Amino acid sequence: MSYLVLARKWRPKNFGEMVGQEHVLRALMHALDHNRVHHAFLFTGTRGVGKTTVSRILAKSLNCDRGVSSTPCGECSACREIDEGRFVDLIEVDAASRTKVEDTRELLENVQYAPTRGRYKVYLIDEVHMLSAHSFNALLKTLEEPPPHVKFLLATTDPQKLPVTVLSRVLQFHLKRLSTALIGERMRHILTAEGVEFDPAGLPLLARAADGSMRDGLSLLDQVLVFGGGRVSEPDVRGMLGTIDRGHVARILGLLAAGDAAGVLEQVAALDEQAPDYDDVLIELSALLQRLALQQAVPGAGADDVWDEGTVAELATQLHREDVQLFYQMALNGRRDLPMAPDPRLGFEMTLLRMLAFRPAEADMAPRAATRSAPLRPRPAQRSVPAPTPKAGTAFTSGDWRLLIERLHLSGAVKQLATNCEWVERTATVVKLRLDARSAVLQTEGIVEKLGAALTEFYGQSMRIDLELVGELDDSPARMAEREAAELLARTQALLEQEPVVRLLRERFGGVLDPASVKPR
């Protein structure tokens, strides 16, 4: 007996067996059960999501010997013949091979005749967008006023190519791409029913490679069963798909957490021996970082067969939340930049080195909740000046307060308020500040509370702001920045005045340097 591929063997025979298209099935089932079936349906969606399957089940529901309903019996002669593809009143047409107007006219010549066996004559036209303009014109009149015994079921992956005159005469249903989890669960069900030995960690890889198509996923499953000699294992799946061992990705991320640049490069060299697709490696790295973000936000959330829970938990404690978010964004940007790199491996290495170079400084001003298993190598001094951690009642300079503001990661009006204040002192639960009277408009309850919340988070204990409104302040961070900008502008203007070209223009043509045009970098 010839082998029947899984995609055909496990094709759903009724609406109850279909997965992932509930929004379409609900509408069709209600129409069938309440005898409100339209004469023409258009099913759209990418390949392998169930357009033809839905059409055949709908044809069974209309022609079942037991009557029109959303639950065809599957046992009568009409149901069996439709399942076997030999029902005389189900006319299936591949529009890609019958694009000529003569083919369409020949097809429609028999529309007027009553069904031979069933209750309805059903025309299933697949890839209907491939019909020519003349073929659509020939079809329009029949679509608009079909005989009562005829139903049209149209399917296409590209509905934009259909004339609006056709779209206006049909009920359109879009079948969505199936999720990776849904495809993986369907594979698990089929393998269990078939009695096939399988490794759960290999199924998500196949489901992701299916790219939203159940048919593609089952075709890949057939392929890996041949590749693996009748069983499904993660190494066989990776070997067939050409994907890498996730252990490499986890080790790379662990080395990034430790700030071990040399170790990262050694791991990349070991990975390169497998000739990987570095875009796939970045995808795996992004997926692991997303899993870590879930673990840090809600421990245990998102657990699956893809990543070992012990590895995820360990990495989640080694990396700050800020690092995880930063690394994730850099991995996405690395995928975008990879085609422009001199070499894929070099582009991948630069992405990893960028993660090390631009991660938040380790020397924070106060203890954080997260811990690390290994210290990060210090960054250059000019890039990571440690902010002072003032003790209660100690003196605190304007420069210290300015640096502290930078470490608080403030923005908007809260940052404006802070930069227009001078530090006075800090007691056990109170930070005393003086506010420049010229910025009194910023002294609102909401803004002051947000500044207090930022200091509370920084110090790890409840802090309240005691704000004193005074006259003009000369040493607030805002005034210091203004003076620095003015000094920089003056130096820039002086340097420009000495430029040979500027001197030549001034001496020969009487040119004058416009101060407003000078923008120091």
How many alpha carbons lie under 13 Å from residue 351 in its C-beta half-sphere? 32
Is the domain spanning 180-241 CATH 1.10.8.60? The answer is: yes
Tell me the C-alpha distance between 465 and 398, whole Å.
Answer: 17
Under CATH, which number does the domain 398-475 receive? 3.30.300.150
State the Rg of the chain over Cα: 34
pLDDT in tens, the chain (521 residues): 477 889 899 999 999 999 889 999 999 999 999 989 999 999 999 999 999 999 999 999 999 999 999 999 989 999 999 998 899 999 998 887 776 777 788 778 888 888 988 899 999 999 999 888 888 888 888 888 888 999 999 999 999 999 999 999 999 999 999 998 899 999 999 999 999 999 888 898 899 888 899 999 999 999 999 988 888 988 888 888 877 777 889 999 999 998 888 999 999 998 888 888 899 899 989 999 999 999 888 887 766 666 778 888 889 888 888 889 999 999 999 999 999 999 999 999 999 999 988 765 543 433 333 333 333 333 343 334 444 555 444 456 656 888 889 888 888 889 999 999 998 888 888 999 999 888 888 888 889 999 999 999 888 888 999 999 888 888 889 888 888 888 888 888 888 888 877 777 777 777 777 777 777 66
Q: Which pTM was predicted?
A: 0.58
H-only helix segments in 274-411? 278-297, 309-318, 321-337, 344-358, 398-407
Tell me the C-alpha distance between 363 and 485, whole Å.
Answer: 28
CB 355, CB 327: distance < 8 Å: yes
Q: Can you name the residues that pair with 124 across neighbouring β-strands?
A: 92, 153
Residue spans of the domains in the chain: they are 6-174, 180-241, 246-358, 398-475, 488-517
How far, CA to CA in Å, does 244 sit from each of 217, 254, 345, 353? 19, 17, 14, 21
Is the domain spanning 246-358 CATH 1.10.10.60? The answer is: no
Under CATH, which number does the domain 6-174 receive? 3.40.50.300
